[in-house]
Structures are given as C-alpha cells and as structure tokens.
C-alpha cells in the first residue's frame, strides 16, 4: 500500500514528549544529545520535564517538535524497514518531512528550524499579532472577509473543508471573527498563539531565514515532498528552497496537499510526531472510507 508520512506543526507539543524513546533507544538518545549540543541548550530537559508554558515559546516549541518528529521517524520500532512513497508536513512539520525524505541532513534541518524559530519569535515580540480558527464557512467566504477588514489579516492555514485559520494584526483578526460570526460561522475563536504566523507580519524574518536556507545543502529527496505553498509534489532542491522560504508568509494549503497525495495514490497516512491533529484533519478531508490513518507519537 502506498504510504504517506505526515508531520505536525506548532501546537502539537506536550510535556514529556520524546522521553520514552530517549530512554528506550540508544540511537534516539544519541540524536537528542547531538541536538542539545548543536542548539546550545538542554532542549531535552524542557521537553521531558518542562510545563505546558515552558514549551509554548516559539523558539523552544519548534526545535522540540522537529526533534521529536525526526527521531521518531528514524528510531521508532514500528517504522523499521518502512519507506514512505511521499511525505508532507504542516508548517514547521515541512522541515521534518524534508529531513525524513533525505532532502535535509539532521543537523542542517535542526539549525534551520532554530533560525526560523528565533526569527519568528523576534517578529512576535516586535510586531504583535495573533491567529483565529474559523469553522463552518467556505474558503471563499473567509477570504472575502479578510479582504473586507481594515488592517492586516489573511488566511494562514487551509486545514480542512470548513476549517481555516486566519492570521494578522490582533484588531483585524478580531474584526474578521466578528464578521465571520455574522456570516454564519459556527465558531470564530482567537487562538492562544504568540504571533501572526504565515502572514505578512512575519516578513521581517525573511532575510535571515533566506540566507540560512540558501547556505544549506538541499539534496534530491528519496521521495516527493508535498510542500505547503503549492500543495504539489517536489523533488527539485532549488524549488524546495524557494517554497520553504515562501512558506514563512504564505498559507499552509493542507487540504489541497492531502487531496493531491490521495490523487497520487496515497492509501495510508502515518502521522509521526507529537499529537494527533493531522490524523483528524486527514479524516475530515478524505471522509475516511478506505484510507488508513495511524499515528506514531511516543
């Protein structure tokens, strides 16, 4: 059966993430200790013993989720001997997908994630913004609401039919939520996030991240990676770099990505990393049916 590996993004973290694998697998322990050394902090101490609040900071969350996801993909016994036909990741998860497919080396990917997280954290502090989930409206209706708002607010995550996350300046996001409710949305709820991810408010992070991506070796992946910006399978290293940078301010086209993977033959989706959010999204996008969905998270 054609299998797709999918990797979660920010918000899927939980206290204790990765601890079980660290204690049971010498290879996992080695990778995690290499990450601690490269990052210059004991990230595993925060992952294993930190609180929800400790894990929420963008510059901690992103490396932690990447590390957990990547180590699971390489070391979990249930995945031994398996090779996906395609990979994809939601936002931050795209770095995990690229590393799992061999396009990025482990240390290179971790270094890029750290730079991305640090630069996005700076944006959050310098240009405050937020995000909100809008449920029960069409993509087109939400897009029109964003256009009609005074201030910066854009669709950020096309998560599943009828579920879009919008992102931008707080007042504009709140205005869009009010307009969405008036238009019949079942819910329009501001999310407890640190900034306006996948919006123009992340533009100040582009220079440093772009320079880092350009200086990083990207190899042809072992299988196609379905990137967020285009929802298309990509194997060209030049295009991978271009899309990875564009993703910073562009929306995550998750619904279209899953549809394209199914059209290309995916009969099984395996979510690798903390949480199970992507499994739920895939079920809503595909309608379940004959598609197999599983998770590997500890």
Tell whether 211 and 178 lie within a shared domain.
Answer: no
Cα atoms in the 13 Å half-sphere on the side-chain side of 260: 18
> Taking residues 37-42, what's their average pLDDT?
95
What total of structural domains would you count in the chain?
2
> Taking residues 145-167, what's their average pLDDT?
97
Question: Does 132 score more than 80 pLDDT?
Answer: yes
Residue 139 belongs to domain with CATH number: 3.30.70.250
Judge whether 222 lies within some domain. Answer: yes
User: Closest by alpha carbon to 3, among 271, 288, 257?
Assistant: 271
d(CA 268, CA 286): 11
Judge whether 210 lies within some domain. Answer: yes
What pLDDT does 87 receive?
Answer: 98
184: containing domain: 130-190
Tell whether 62 and 113 lie within a shared domain.
Answer: yes
DSSP 8-state assignment for residue 251: -
Judge whether 195 lies within some domain. Answer: no
Q: Which residues contact residue 211 at a Cβ distance below 8 angstroms, ignoring those fewer than 6 apart?
A: none
d(CA 90, CA 20): 24
Tell whether 103 and 232 lie within a shared domain.
Answer: yes
Among the candidates 190, 213, 242, a domain finishes at 190
Decide if 102 contacts 219 (C-beta within 8 A).
Answer: yes
Judge whether 220 lies within some domain. Answer: yes
User: Helix or strand or coil: residue 249?
Assistant: coil
Burial 74-87, CB ≥16 within 10 A → b, else e: bbbeebeeeebbbb
User: Closest by alpha carbon to 227, among 211, 238, 216, 215?
Assistant: 238
Tell whether 34 and 137 lie within a shared domain.
Answer: no
Tell whether 143 and 13 lie within a shared domain.
Answer: no
Judge whether 264 lies within some domain. Answer: yes
Judge whether 86 lies within some domain. Answer: yes
Tell whether 177 and 218 lie within a shared domain.
Answer: no
Tell whether 137 and 96 lie within a shared domain.
Answer: no
Residue 268 belongs to domain with CATH number: 3.40.366.10
Q: Which residues contact residue 156 at a Cβ distance below 8 angstroms, ignoring those fewer than 6 apart?
A: 131, 164, 165, 166, 167, 196, 197, 198, 199, 251, 252
Residue 272 bridge partners (DSSP): 296
Decide if 117 contacts 58 (C-beta within 8 A).
Answer: yes
Tell whether 49 and 160 lie within a shared domain.
Answer: no
Q: How far is CA 90 from the centre of its chain?
A: 3
Q: By mean pLDDT, which of 51-60, 83-92, 210-219, 246-255 is the weakest?
A: 51-60
Tell whether 57 and 141 lie within a shared domain.
Answer: no
d(CA 131, CA 205): 18
Tell whether 13 and 157 lie within a shared domain.
Answer: no
pLDDT tens track for 191-246? 988 789 999 999 999 999 999 999 999 999 999 999 999 999 999 999 999 999 99
12, 91, 160, 257: the catalytic one is 91
Q: How far is CA 10 from the centre of its chain?
A: 6
Among the candidates 190, 218, 242, a domain finishes at 190
pTM: 0.96
pLDDT band at 19 (very low <50, low <70, confident <90, very high): very high
Judge whether 115 lies within some domain. Answer: yes
- The tokens for 102 are 């061999």
- Whether residue 198 lies in the annotated active site: yes
Tell whether 26 and 52 lie within a shared domain.
Answer: yes
Among the candidates 190, 210, 233, a domain finishes at 190
Tell whether 35 and 73 lie within a shared domain.
Answer: yes
Residues in the chain: 298
12, 198, 199, 257: the catalytic one is 198
Q: Is 272 exposed, middle or buried (0-12, 13-18, 19+ CB in 10 A)?
A: buried
Residue 7 bridge partners (DSSP): 89
- Whether residue 73 lies in the annotated active site: no
Concatenated DSSP letters of 233-287 = EE--HHHHHHHHHHTTTS-B-HHHHHHHHHHTT--EEEEESSSSHHHHHHHHHH-
Question: Does 288 score more than 80 pLDDT?
Answer: no
């Amino acid at each position: 059966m054609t299998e797709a590996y999918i990797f979660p993004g920010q918000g899927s973290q939980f206290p204790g993430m990765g601890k079980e694998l660290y204690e049971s697998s010498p290879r996992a322990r080695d990778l995690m200790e290499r990450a601690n050394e490269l990052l210059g902090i004991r990230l595993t101490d925060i992952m294993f013993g930190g609180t929800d609040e400790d894990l929420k900071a963008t510059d901690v969350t992103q490396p932690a989720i990447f590390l957990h996801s990547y180590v699971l993909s390489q070391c979990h016994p249930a995945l031994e001997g398996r090779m996906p036909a395609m990979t994809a990741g939601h936002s931050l998860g795209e770095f995990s997908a690229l590393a799992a497919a061999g396009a990025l080396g482990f240390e290179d990917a971790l270094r890029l994630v750290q730079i991305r997280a640090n630069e996005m954290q700076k944006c959050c502090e310098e240009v405050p913004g937020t995000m909100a989930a809008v449920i029960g409206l069409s993509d087109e209706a939400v897009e029109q609401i964003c256009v009609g708002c005074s201030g910066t607010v854009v669709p950020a995550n096309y998560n599943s039919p009828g579920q879009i996350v919008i992102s931008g300046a707080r007042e504009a996001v709140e205005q869009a939520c009010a307009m969405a409710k008036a238009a019949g949305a079942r819910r329009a709820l501001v999310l407890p996030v640190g900034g306006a991810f996948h919006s123009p408010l992340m533009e100040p992070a582009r220079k440093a991240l772009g320079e880092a991506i350009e200086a990083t070796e990207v190899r042809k992946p072992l299988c196609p990676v379905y990137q967020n910006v285009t929802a298309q399978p990509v194997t060209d290293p030049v295009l991978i770099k271009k899309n990875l940078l564009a993703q910073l301010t562009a929306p995550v086209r998750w619904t279209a990505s899953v549809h394209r993977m199914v059209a290309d033959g995916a009969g099984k989706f395996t979510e690798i990393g903390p949480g199970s959010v992507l499994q739920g999204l895939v079920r809503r996008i595909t309608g379940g049916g004959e598609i197999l969905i599983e998770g590997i998270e500890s």
